[in-house]
Structure 1
Amino acid sequence: MTPRPILIDTDPGQDDAVAILLALASPELEVKAITAVAGNVPLALTSANARKVCELAGRPEIAVHAGCDHPLERPLVTAEHVHGKTGLDGADLRAPVMALQDKHGVDAIIDLAREVDGLTICALGPLTNVATALTRAPDVAGRIREIVLMGGAYFEVGNISPAAEFNIFVDPEAAKAVFDSGCKITVLPLDVTHKVLVTTDRIAAFRAMETRIGDAIADWTGFFERFDKEKYGSDGAPLHDPCVIGWLLWPELFSGRQINVEIETTSELTRGMTVADWWGVTDRAVNAMFIGNVDAGAFFARMTDRLARL
């Protein structure tokens, strides 16, 4: 099988880190580059964290590019209250040795979309880099195979406001540009990711790998879950971003439907809301595959097995 070429656009984030590791552990995927964006923490940290994860995986040859350090039109909102001051609190990783690439992340997206046939963009954070690339170089929209993103919500609604999920809330104008781009889009919203919980047993499974990577994931998820347990009273924290990679690897574990998704950008009450026409009550054109469910048990079993190979 020829590996599927992907670019990971990310704001690590413990769950982003697990997603990157899952991609690097999967021979079905070829990670062409990683572009960092400001989101969970500021850009200096997300670009360093992406390199830390590559080094943890033994893949220092992966090109990591720093992208946009603030949203298109708004001040940056970050999530240290969830991820800790570094974004990767919980596991003590050394400062990265591998160099940050000189090329800006937006330019890296544009160049790879033009150079690589059938590039898939895996968007794990705010969509600032992706939207800027599509706006600056409209021709790349027709060359991108698919944008698979973690963001939004329908039934679950918001985790940063009553109406909005964090990634979309941080840069709703960027999200709108992406959803309006005409690219093929698949959305992994909170409705799915809140089913993929890192419970005590699942953290123990990571620890049972008895590897440096397994220990780091167990440490990250053990730290990460404390916020959601307190907020939601759940059995563990949702492991959001690995669902993007899981969809590419094992789409049979997921279900959803093609619908219209619009992004609210003007209302202060519902800023960043993904207005998902799940029931087809409007005549707006379909523009996204919106995933509604996942077999979480099978997903975790396969993910744990794959990560143990690193």
Structure 2
Amino acid sequence: MPAKKIIIDTDPVRIDDILAILLALSAKEEEVQVPLISLTFGNIEVRSCLRNVVSMFHIIEREMQWRRENGKPEGFAALRALPPVVAVGAEDPLESQKMLADYFHGRDGLGGIHASHPHLTPSEAWEHLFDPSAHATDINTVKASDSSTPRTYVPSKRPAHEEMLRVLGENDPDTVTIVAVGPLTNLALASAMDPETFLRAKEVVVMGGTVNLPGNVTPVGEFNSYADSVAAARVFALTSPNPQSTLPPTQRLPSYPPKLSKQLTLRLFPLDITHRHNLNRGYFRSNIQPRLDSGSPLAEWIAAFMVHTFKTLEKLHVGHVGDDAELSLHDPVCVWYAITSDDGKWKPSPASPEDIRVETTGQWTRGMCVVDRRNRHQTDADEESPSDHGHWLSRKAGNRVWRMDASPVEGGSCFGEVLLRRLFD
């Protein structure tokens, strides 16, 4: 079976974003290829996201060298087999005001690691590699022997949504999965630019929203859905047999064509499932310390920003104290699904595919995942009726979202243990 191809669209200013990327790149060569890492704004500015990703690759290079020098397997086979293109994407949401979260993640998104551990951060000589004012990078002409080119990634000067369409266009339909673990702005831009090429994706795996749990930025809003609710609503609409029925009422991007070749397959990982996949502080401490003692650069880097994260959890959340504190691994769960999607223990909700829509205009409900909890008969009506505003009951309208509800690894810190073993063993 050929390796699964995944695009990771991310706002790597959070610890779980970085861990998600590391999980993919540390996979076996026969498991995964990552042709593209596309960056979007998130909890901090997109240029800071880029700095964090470049720092991550810097650490990976140091880690692989350290492992070679100490007679250990290099690891990161997927990365060595195919260094991913890295492209910078959206700086702002499509319409709403940008929301930052440096109160939790630090000003650099990784707990201030660039200031506290400068020896783990590369110089900024790499910035020109992503300068869009220069000629666009021809990915096919980049040579590994070129000393000016990074060895572990390919920098792109093109916008992320254009690179996303390039990868989808260059591969056979239904062979590339997009794993979106940040605001969906890049995906919305790509689907607006060329919806048919975007629909070549095998599926889109989204970390976002919450259905039956409280939100994490408002009582009903999860960060990614809240950060660009219009983008989320547009991407969700592509799952509908009639995308016009669920598009946001106001938008600066054009509507989709009236006829599309297929509906998007979207697998949603809301807080309902991601909150059940954690990394326990006590387990992390006992597991990372021997690796720190042995001199692993990757262990030192991860430990530095994890210390900040666990301290912040103690301040903000009731019950997250001492070694019992648990960090939810929202984004790595989505990458883990993309790697192991053939495992029959991954289960959607019994009601899937569900008509889940994202609220875009509510004063208190922006980013809310709205579902119809009324017990009413569906109809085959083409037009809205006085008793069905919004086409909620029509079989010919509404979204069709696969909400994931069970995984092969759940409960306690089980998934956290899997994650650390994949990164280091």
Q: Is the 8 A contact 1:37 1:47 kept in 2?
A: no
Q: TM-score, normalising length from structure 1?
A: 0.91
Question: Aligned ranges for residues 235-274 of structure 1 at < 5 Å?
Answer: 235-251=325-341, 252=343, 254-257=346-349, 258=352, 259-274=354-369
Do the aligned partners of 2:279 and 2:415 also contact (CA within 8 Å) in 1?
A: no
Deviation at 1:198, TM superposition (A): 2.5
Distance, in Å, in 1 between the alignment partners of 2:374 and 2:207 is 21
Amino acid at match of 1:11: D
Q: How does 1:72-87 map to 2 (within 5 A)?
A: 72-87=94-109
Report if the CA contact (8 A) 1:37-1:66 is conserved: yes
- CA shift in 2, pair 1:199/1:299, >3 Å: closer
Relative to structure 1, the CA distance from residue 209 to residue 268 in structure 2 (aligned partners, 3 Å threshold; closer, same or farther) is same
Look up the equivalent residue of 1:172 and give its one-letter code.
S
Q: Residue type of the partner of 2:102?
A: E
1:174-206, CA deviations, whole angstroms, 9 ceiling, x for partnerless residues?
000110113111111112222223222232224
Q: Is the 8 A contact 1:9 1:34 kept in 2?
A: yes
Q: 1:203·1:221 contact (CA, 8 Å) conserved in 2?
A: no
Larger Rg: 2
Deviations 1:14-43 (A, max 9, x none): 110000000001121111011110111101
| Residue matched to 1:300 | 416
SS of alignment partner, residue 55 of structure 1: helix
**Cα distance between partner residues in 2 of 1:228 and 1:194:** 14
Greater strand percent: which structure? 1
Q: C-alpha deviations, 1:28-73, integer Å up to 9, x for none?
A: 1111011110111101101221222223223594321111100001
Specify the SS of the correspondent of 1:241: helix
Tell me how far 1:225 sits from its aligned partner. Answer: 2.6
Under a length normalisation based on structure 2, what TM-score does the superposition of the two structures give? 0.68
Q: Distance in 1 between matches of 2:374 and 2:283?
A: 34
1:44 aligned partner, one-letter code: R
1:216 counterpart (296, 301, 311): 301
2:176 paired residue number: 119
List runs of 5+ in structure 1 lacking aligned partners. Answer: none
- For residue 33 of structure 2, what is the aligned residue in structure 1? 30
How far apart in 2 are the matches of 1:142 and 1:169?
24
Query: What is the match of residue 148 of structure 2?
Result: none
1:14 — aligned with what?
15
Unaligned segments of structure 2, at least 5 residues: 62-78, 131-155, 240-263, 377-391
Contact 1:20 1:53 in 2 (8 A): no
3-state SS of 1:33 partner: strand
d(CA) in 1 for partners of 2:336, 2:56: 18
Alignment RMSD (CA, Å): 2.3
Aligned to 1:188: 269
Aligned letter for 2:97?
P
Quick one: structure 1 residues 171 and 280, their matched pair in 2 at CA, closer, same or farther if it must change by over 3 Å? farther
Query: Is 1:275 the equivalent of 2:367?
Result: no
Q: Are the equivalent residues in 2 in contact too, given 1:5–1:31 (CA < 8 A)?
A: yes
Q: Note if 1:65 corresponds to 2:65.
A: no
Residue among 221, 229, 235 paired with 1:172:
229
Kindly tell me: are residues 121 and 107 of structure 1, through their superposed partners in 2, closer, same or farther at Cα, counting changes over 3 Å? same
Q: Which moved more, 1:89-98 or 1:25-34?
A: 89-98
Asked whether the equivalents of residues 90 and 219 of structure 1 are also in contact (C-alpha less than 8 Å), the reply is no
SS in 1 for 2:267: strand
Q: Shift of the alpha carbon at 1:279? A: 9.1
One-letter amino acid of the counterpart of residue 302, structure 1: V
